A = this chain, B = another copy of it.
Amino acid sequence: MGKVTMRDIAQVMGVSVMTVSNAFNRPDQLSAELRGRILARAAKMGYTGPNAVARQLREGRTRVFGVVVTQGVERVFEDPYQVILLGGLAAELEAAGANILLVGTGHDDVDPMMRVGVDGFVGMCTTHPMAAAASRRGLPLVTTDPMDGVDGWVSIDDRQAGLAIADHVRRLGHRRVTVVVEQTVPEHPCMVVQQPDHLLDLLQVLQADGIYDVWPRTLGVLEGLEGLDVDVVCSAGSSCRAGREAAAVVMDRQDRPTAVVALSDALALGVLDALRERGVVPGRDVSVTGFDDLPDAAAGLTTIRQPIRDKGRLLGQLLLGQTGGERHIVLDHELVVRSSTGPAPR
């Protein structure tokens, strides 16, 4: 029961396995009458249709693409940026009859990347170490950020975007700025306020290991703020909650900054919450900027707009081989100024 195969049916009906197979896949290859009898009999025997895995083996492809995330699968769902991106990817793949497999980092010694049956991988942001792993599989691999040795990537010019944000803040007259950086490495403590120079050293190490991928963005921001009085706070991931925690650290110190530059909207929205809780008015008392232009940012967050959904779509097309020659795609971004930023109070 449940273990019925085409062979069983063929045997019982006195036909060949091939005929049974054809009954399921190639109706035109046999008489309607025989086909009907086979299907009926198969149903009666509890046959549940051609085994998917056997078929995949035989056909040499799975119609499944793996999305690789290093922070534990469930974290993906907490980050709106990733959720939107995934939505675009899903739309594209689904239209092509392909499915998405969420691949975690594994728990024990086994590397799940090696055991999943997929036709290719998408490396989500913050997941660079998996590049090597995916390459080991010898399968197509595309990523959400520029990276060497992959078969394609889709990104914006993160460094320029970082510069644009910094420039905006500087022009508003802010001289005392806190940058909230997403810290993706669990081993390193979060929420530590550091001087930029020391932080850059750390980040550069991470970047060299391929772990820290908002490096260009961070670099652009810090470069653009050079000469000002800058602090950096590392947050635990890119979520609203993390942003709130970060803001708590910043705001409860004496010597508050007049501007907080968060490296993602998710973080920035958390910062805004924390400010309001303290009766601080964003854009007047303290300016706040984000990055991504999530839907929630429309309520008044100054940020960098990037076409997140399109990123996902294009990654899907890249994977499906639908795009022409260009496999390194740089999308446009745009500074969107809203009410969360204003002139530095004097």
Contacts and interface: CB of A to CB of B under 8 A. Distances in A.
18 contacts: A46-B138, A51-B57, A52-B115, A52-B117, A74-B86, A74-B91, A77-B83, A77-B84, A77-B86, A77-B87, A78-B87, A94-B104, A94-B107, A97-B108, A97-B112, A99-B102, A99-B104, A100-B101
Contacts of A114: 49-50, 52
Contacts of A94: 72-74, 104, 107
A301 to B, nearest CB: 16
A56 B115 CA distance: 8
Given A49-B114, A74-B90, 11 more contacts: A48-B136, A53-B62, A55-B115, A63-B115, A64-B117, A73-B93, A77-B86, A94-B107, A97-B106, A97-B107, A100-B101
Contacts of A102: 90, 99-102
Interface string A290-310: 000000000000000000000
B97 A64 contact: no
Q: Which of A49, A54, A117 has the most CB of B within 10 A?
A: A117
A94 B339 CA distance: 41
Contacts of A74: 86-88, 90-91, 94
A277 to B, nearest CB: 11
A106 B99 CA distance: 9
Contacts of A77: 83-84, 86-87, 90
Contact of A91 (B55, B72, B139): B72
A2 B138 contact: yes
A103 interface: yes
Contacts of A91: 72-74
A97 B108 CA distance: 8
A115 to B, nearest CB: 5
A94 B50 CA distance: 28
A116 interface: yes
B110 A97 contact: yes
Query: What 4 A-B pairs have minimum CB-CB distances, sorted nearest first?
Result: A48-B138, A73-B90, A74-B87, A53-B117
A256 interface: no
Contacts of A208: none
A135 to B, nearest CB: 9
Nearest to A1: B138
A137 interface: yes
Given A73-B90, A99-B103, A103-B99, A54 B52 contact: no
A333 to B, nearest CB: 22
Nearest to A101: B101
Nearest to A108: B97
Contact of A64 (B72, B101, B136, B138): B101
A106 to B, nearest CB: 7
Contacts of A63: 112, 115
A97 B107 CA distance: 7
Interface in A225-269: none
A255 B107 CA distance: 58
A101 to B, nearest CB: 5
Contact of A137 (B49, B56, B78): B49
Interface string A56-94: 110000111000000011101110000110111011011
